[in-house]
Chains A and B, each alone.
Chain A
Amino acid sequence: MSRNLNLTINGKMYEFTVGDRLGQIPENETLVDTLRDRLGLTGTKRSCGQGACGCCTVIIDGKAVASCLTLTVECEGKKITTIEGLADPVTGELDPIQKAFNEHNAFQCGFCTPGIIMSTKALLDANPNPTEEELKEALSGNYCRCISHYQVIEAVKSII
């Protein structure tokens, strides 16, 4: 018996069935794979696959979550936002965080950037005026090997 799975991703409703047959979502599929491989939402990056680096961060019901550690089947009925869903859906205007990152060149290779932006978004939604310490704490699960940290902090500080 297959069962249905309803996900809301970036404001759009998706209906899948769960199972092992071709095209179905297996029980063990992680959200990062669903987003990237099924939906083409490749802005969410796959990197460590262990919840250590934050490259795959998405927002689920307001919280920043590692999508590589999240089973897609567990997201039934949840509201998921990925980096592709941050801009205003009607006007296309970028989120202030995205603008600030771009204006401050707050990235080098940019591979960690979507994850860092999503963690920042979750923080600012919950706490619009974080201290620098709170910001660093919120981003402590996001690795950046290029060392863009200092510029990221500048960028976020410019909008809080």
Chain B
Amino acid sequence: MKHLDEALKPYRNKTEYRHIGKSVRRQDGEAIVTGKALYCDDIYIPNALYMKVLRSPHPHAEVVSIDTSEALALPGVEAIMTHENSPQWKTGQPAHRLPIDRIVRYVGDAVAAVMATSKQIAEDALELIKVEYKLLPAVYDVEDAIKPDAYQIYGEEYNIEWLGYRYENNKLPPGSYFEHPEDPPFYFIREGDPEKGFEECDAVVEGKVSYDKATFPGAPETPFIAARWEDEDHVTVWASSQSPNMMSRPLGAAINAHVFANVPNVGGSYGNKNGMGYISLFVAAAAKVAGKPVRYAMSKEEQMLVYERRLGNKFIGKIGVKKDGMIHAIKGDWLVDTGMSAELTQGQVAEGLGELHIAFNKTPHWDVNGRVVVTNLYPVGICKGFGGQEFKSCAMHLATRALKKLDIDPFESFRKNFCSPGREYYWRTGRKYKNDIIDYDNAFVGAAEKFRWHERWKGWTTPSRVEGNKSYGVGFGVHCSGDPSCDETFAYVRLENDEVIVHCPTSESGMGQRLAAAKTVAEILNVPMERVSLTPSNNINNPADFGLAGSRGTITVNAACGRAAADAKRKLFELFAPYFDCEPEDLDTKDLMVFKKDNPEGAVHWNTLIHFYYSITGEGRMDGKFNTYSMVLLFVEVEIDLDTGLVKLTDVLSGTDVGQVMSPVELKMQLEGGLGAAGIDTGHLEGYVVDPHLGRTLTGNLIDYKWRTFTELPNFDTYILSSKWPTENPFGAIGIGEITGAAGPAAVAMAIESALGGYEFNEYPITPDKVLKALGKA
């Protein structure tokens, strides 16, 4: 790829581009505003059966008997899958979850799936299935689940083992496929000597902070999977997944078949519809049992009650700080509630640890251990923020207690502790990495100035201002991720006749990454945007790519596509060199014309030599690395009604430095998106209410699960620096979308506490009832 990078060099230092950094309509824009854009459930699949699922009313039980005969006799019912006839494939990390098990492990666990010719018939048939359960003890709290006498949610017979570690006391083995095969699992950071470190501190705090209410990422399009077995070894899948490969590779391995994954427009994901591990396994199994294609669009309640939620967690620890605001020592247990199953929760532990290590990068003493605990709550999946949002909402919040003791400005402390160029940080493999150049300090300074932080922050026990019965407080948080250059991406660029076709499996779930890829290719080939199209997002017309996760698309997809475009351009010039009787280096191209640099007037159209049935294919790739991290700062102001306890977010400023801006409107919207997807608003607004005795989610519908509407928008400002980072993105950009809400909950908590004169909360979300209690009014 070296020669291609040479060819791309001139693009890096330009200040003005033809397409990059410009506001350009998305290719699917007109389809979206006219309703023509196709999402999974809009697609007709001939002969597909509809599926409905019978779900357990109990949090933990054994299915003693199940009788489906009456349901099967209903006209239109073609097949029923239960634990008795379901394939014995397993998903999870490490593999532990069957499509349907004899044991149900949470309220909502699948007991039977009916496949019928209509939704209504499938639904009606559910009522005809008779099930006898034997109840088992259930546990919902991580601290209870790991007690030595707690009931084991997975028995010995599941043989859950990873790298020599076994399932024990409801703790899943640590580690995931993020580590290098020769390395141990990454689930703790131990460095220095914490006990000695605490002695050297000027303030030490101990405590427990919980961010453990289940929250709903909330994509508007419910998860959808359809599966059609072509033969014993091949299955075609339609998935509302953000990343076709992240869905199809693990699925293929679990079911021992080749998966052809198709991803049309995706109706929101926020990381949450990425792997879709269990649901894809489930539908593939159902289609196998039925012997026909099966389509399954979850209902909103299913999405809210049984699909993948954000992880819950608690940090029980001790943090010491020095007078100068440096976090000096940290110790504790990070208990992660993964519900009844884990797809990649251990990976979230690895990234959460890495994210805290980037934030507290100058802390010499560490002893922090992450543990993934199984409970009888509904399962955790992937969601933007990916472990770091949850962990830091607890750990950084606990650290603020020590800063408060010493009356240190949290912004100044977090700024000083943040990783600076040349310093090493842990990332998800458990190894350390280093970024030599990216320095976010200017963004810290500029964003704080724009928000007027130093004027508005009045200290830990003084509200920013009080007006009548309203008290205002400000808070600050910072988040970071080492993922923006992670994992492999391959791309091809084809030049044919009068068009450019880009092959990369990038999907469109709202971030505009397909637009960015087209812009990159159009920029490098110097063609109008209309000439560039992308192949549909799937894994058969396109080479491999991990998918859109951790904001990696901006660097990796554009690096691969940029190199593929440069390679195609090189081949184009090689083709035309004899025609012009010159060297390829003497040629240039614009608007599909090729010409000698010293004679632009003699330009000829590409199709002079790229005839009707002729292709030039350029190849590009990027190998994954962990040498860059993204950063987003959040400044918030809250207003508290001192009579009702109502907390309102009134003002938000999201600050970052993205290197070169690829698409300004999309970037701004990604920052604003921090308000959604169980991000900033989990600080004070969002969270399910779960019955503590029955393990039932009581607010699992969109009427009861509160979130933000058009009438409740805070003032939202951004501070975006464009420092041109030397990333592998051809123009020097870095992605940030994944982390835009992650610093939010802790920032909101800080703001609320300061608005209340220093009252301390140890639990999210900080809802009006808790505020009223703080005010002595409840």
Contact = CB atoms under 8 A, between A and B. Distances in A.
Interface of A: 26, 36, 41-50, 52-53, 55, 82-84, 86-87, 94, 98-99, 101-105, 107-114, 117, 135-137, 139-153
Contact of B672 (A137, A142, A147): A147
User: Which of B220, B666, B669, B674 has the most chain A CB within a 10 Å cutoff?
Assistant: B220
B677 A145 contact: yes
In the A-B complex, list the 5 residue pairs whose CB atoms are closest, starting with the nearest. Answer: A43-B35, A111-B267, A108-B510, A109-B510, A83-B35
B701 A52 contact: yes
B267 A45 contact: yes
Given A49-B299, A111-B268, A147 B710 contact: no
B221 interface: yes
B34 A147 contact: no
Contacts of A84: 34-36
A53 B705 CA distance: 12
B265 interface: yes
Contacts of A98: 33-34
A110 B299 contact: no
Nearest to B218: A145
Contact of B221 (A26, A45, A50, A86): A45
A52 B219 contact: no
Given A143-B709, A144-B220, A145-B677, 17 more contacts: A26-B120, A45-B220, A47-B220, A47-B267, A52-B701, A94-B34, A101-B33, A102-B29, A105-B665, A107-B32, A107-B510, A108-B510, A145-B707, A146-B268, A146-B676, A147-B673, A148-B669
B475 to A, nearest CB: 19
Contact of A140 (B26, B666, B709): B709
A9 B349 CA distance: 52
B41 interface: yes
25 contacts: A41-B35, A42-B41, A42-B42, A46-B297, A47-B222, A48-B300, A52-B702, A55-B220, A82-B35, A87-B34, A98-B34, A105-B669, A108-B511, A108-B666, A109-B221, A109-B268, A110-B267, A111-B265, A142-B709, A144-B676, A145-B218, A145-B676, A146-B268, A147-B673, A148-B672
- The B interface is mostly helix, strand or loop, or mixed, namely loop
Interface in B208-228: 217-222
Contact of A113 (B32, B266, B703): B32
B13 interface: no
Contacts of B509: 109
Nearest to B678: A145
Nearest to B221: A111
A150 B654 CA distance: 14
A39 B222 CA distance: 21
Contact of B300 (A42, A47, A147): A47
B688 interface: no
Nearest to A101: B33
A108 B218 CA distance: 14
Contacts of B41: 42, 46
Interface string B262-278: 00011111100000000
